[in-house]
Amino acid sequence: MKVQSIIGLGTIAISLFFFSACSTDNYDGPETMFTGRLLVGNEPLHIYENPTQEESMFQLYQDGYDKHTAIYVHVNQNGEFSARLFNGEYKMIPVSQKYLWEWTGWENKKEDGSPDTIRFTLKGNKQMDIQVTPFFKFKNVSARIDGENVTADFQVEQLNSDYEVSTVYLMANVNRYFGKLSDLRKSTTKVSLDETMNLSIPLSSYYSDSYFKNNYRKYIFVRLAMLLKKQSGYYLYSDVYRVDIPDEVYQKFRPGE
């Protein structure tokens, strides 16, 4: 009887352990969506998207927990961000780094105008659009095939007189996801504000294995980037544009394909 009792108690203890472990593992994950956009008027702010923790744009902290671990929120190259969170009280602050824009619509600012902590409550899905004012922006951008080149026409508008443009780049890629500066690019340091300018990249380079191996695509993606003086390593960007390459032009670089 004693042996049976011990076995019975052991079975109960093991069952309770597994029930407890399963209960812990079966908590529902976060389901509330926190989304938003960085906007310049009604247009998105186009940026360089880097999904690493070091280059995330926002940090969130949830109140009510002993361990205040940062939740890193990344912004994609179209100025959109999202995070799946639990309901609760949150604090939000931009990660400390250089930004080539003013946080015009940020709700809470320090005396020097830099963004300070925002507090908000999540009770269901929340959308937070934030207006920003870049120091410069591209406008009236278009991209086209011009002979055996891809050409972008554009203008540069100044929105902050404290800064100057150093260089404008035209970049090319085989898809719409660009790094800070793509390997295939052309640039100019002669920038005239509010005047139509253009930059071109030879399609011979686009179809060269030096840049993209086995490239048989009949389209090309291009994007403009702008470097400001004394702001090394940080850029302002245009949207990404896809340009289809006419068959008669394509055949010059990939005959018979």
Give the domain ranges of the chain.
32-134, 136-253
Q: What pLDDT score does 96 carry?
A: 73
SS3 199: strand
pTM to 2 decimals? Answer: 0.84
Neighbours of 70 (CB within 10 A): 15
> Could you identify the residue written with the tokens 């591209």?
138
CATH H superfamily, domain 32-134: Carboxypeptidase-like, regulatory domain (2.60.40.1120)
pLDDT digits (tens, 9 = 90+) for 169-197: 999 999 999 988 899 999 999 999 999 99
The pLDDT, as a whole number, for residue 19 is 44
* DSSP element (H, E) containing 253: helix 247-253
Kindly give the residue spans of alpha helices, DSSP state H, lying in 57-159. none
Task: Quote the pLDDT of residue 25.
Answer: 52
Does the structure show a pLDDT above 60 at 32? yes
Residue 34 CA from chain centroid, whole number: 16
| CATH dotted code for 136-253 | 2.60.40.2060
